[in-house]
Amino acid sequence: MIKPTEKIWHNGRLIPWDEAKVHVLAHALHYGTSVFEGIRCYDTRNGPAMFRLREHVRRMFESAKIYRFGDIGFTQEEFAQACVDVSVVNGMSSCYVRPIVFRGYGDVGVRSLNNPIECYIACWEWGRYLGAEALEQGVDVCVSSWTRIAPNTLPAIAKVAANYMNSQLILMEANQHGYTEGIALDTQGYVSEGSGENVFLIRDGIIYTPPLGTSVLPGITRDAIICIAGELGYPLREQAIPREWLYIADELFFTGTAAEVTPIRSVDRIAVGAGRRGPITEHLQSEFLAITSGDAADRFGWLSYLPTPAAAVA
């Protein structure tokens, strides 16, 4: 169960955790009309810092634009500042921050444009998403019998609540059959993504990841790994990945804010490579973790430090 913090930010005010409630007729509850983000704040050696805060806030505003939310009442800079404020006020040095913007209580029916926009930001402690050992040992996954949302049904680039019904079907089925996670294929049958992670594949020293045209969320961790791979000199191709490549890959891994860089050690009970974290995965993962821990220089400018006394340079 989630451990409550003290405050949640609501439309520009900090309110007690227990008072962050919505009406049962809130539009989002009935029709999925909510855009959101997940941002990690890392307790780096130079003090607490948000990872790629600006990019997350930008993606949320873009999700809101796609669904015609109009002016949500705050600028991206104000929203980013509020994410920082909510972590600071709750005394969190390491946490997961969840901004959410949705159509609230007002009118009823599918038509949403008259319903008020509600903005909230909560934060909480969140450990290893796919289990404590996952980052080292890797996880066992299956190919889902559920297809990822089609591009002409629900836009995958928008991070909206409704998309996560598809994710839930993928994850529930995988868990039911004893797997940690499922990988969904797109409507053409090519590899798309996990229920809450992007996928990378390595074969003969080349890194592959499905392009945005295959119903994937444009993951911010995905982008970070593309940048790190480029810096380390690994060739990387964004291209359609046939399902069977999952079975003959040398290495496979997931990326996501929650999952970070998680190796995949088997797909449909077929071992990936040697059945454990591969060397290129380990290299990319360790560079990623070095940046987020502050052990390596933040040369891409990904960290936004929180204004706390602990932020003094180590």
Q: Which residues here bind ligand PPE, judged by CB under 6 A?
A: 38, 167, 193, 196-198, 217, 219-222, 255-259
Catalytic residue among 3, 7, 65, 159: 159
Q: Considering the complex, what minimum distance in angstroms separates the CB of residue 98 from ligand PPE? A: 8
Q: Considering the complex, what minimum distance in angstroms separates the CB of residue 313 from ligand PPE? A: 28
Nearest CB to ligand PPE, comparing residues 165 and 248: 165
| Gap between the Cα atoms of 237 and 200, Å rounded | 10
Q: Are 199 and 185 in contact (CB under 8 A)?
A: no
- Assign 295 to helix, strand or coil: coil
- Cβ-based neighbours of 270, under 8 Å, separated by 6 or more: 247
Could you tell me what percentage of the chain is helix, strand and coil, using 3-state DSSP and rounding each to the nearest 5? 30, 30, 40
Closest residue by Cα to residue 5 from 122, 104, 113: 122
| Gap between the Cα atoms of 21 and 40, Å rounded | 24
Nearest CB to ligand PPE, comparing residues 144 and 198: 198
- 3 catalytic residue (yes or no): no
Nearest CB to ligand PPE, comparing residues 115 and 222: 222
Nearest CB to ligand PPE, comparing residues 222 and 277: 222
- Assign 292 to helix, strand or coil: helix
DSSP code string of 242-286: BTTHHHH-SEEEEEETTTEEEEEEEETTEEPTTSS--HHHHHHHH
Nearest CB to ligand PPE, comparing residues 115 and 215: 215
- By beta carbon distance, the residue nearest ligand PPE is 38
- Cβ-based neighbours of 285, under 8 Å, separated by 6 or more: 135, 253, 260, 261, 263, 277
Q: Considering the complex, what minimum distance in angstroms separates the CB of residue 90 from ligand PPE? A: 18
Q: Considering the complex, what minimum distance in angstroms separates the CB of residue 122 from ligand PPE? A: 12
**Residues annotated as part of the active site:** 159
